[in-house]
Amino acid sequence: MEDEKLVAELKAKHGSIRTLIVPLDEDDASKKATIYLKKPDATSRDMAQKLAQKDSKLAIKGFLNTLYIGGDSLQLVYDSDDAMESLSYAVAELISVQRTEIKKN
């Protein structure tokens, strides 16, 4: 119930939000962190893509630091190799945008 209230407050303040449930330990499925992110914009996407060319962990941290609006501490995630590895897929998905549909008439 507390999470629902927090989500409602974050949505009211930030509009569309993203909830990430991040596994902290590959060997213990009960260890998870929940973090809330605001919707990525062009600036945050560009930043993450540029950083990813140099260092993927730096890109993940920069992206999360820019978009983080609540939930568990990001340090929990940063201290877990399992979490950082799983986040690489989530960040890649968040960076991507919807494709425009092209129809030939």
6-36 pLDDT, tens digit per residue, is 889 998 999 989 999 999 988 888 899 999 9
**pLDDT, tens only, 47-88:** 777 777 777 788 888 889 989 999 999 999 999 998 988 888
Task: Name the more confident of 2 and 29.
Answer: 29
Kind of pairing between the strands at 32-38 and 17-23: antiparallel
Return phi, psi of residue 9, to 5°.
-65, -45
Would the pLDDT of 1 be above 90?
Answer: no
Structure confidence at residue 59 (pLDDT) = 81
Would the pLDDT of 39 be above 80?
Answer: yes
E strand or H helix at 56: helix 56-67
For residues 60 and 1, what is the distance between their CA atoms, to the nearest angstrom? Answer: 29
Cβ–Cβ contacts within 10 Å for residue 38, how many? 18
- E-assigned strands of 44-95? 68-71
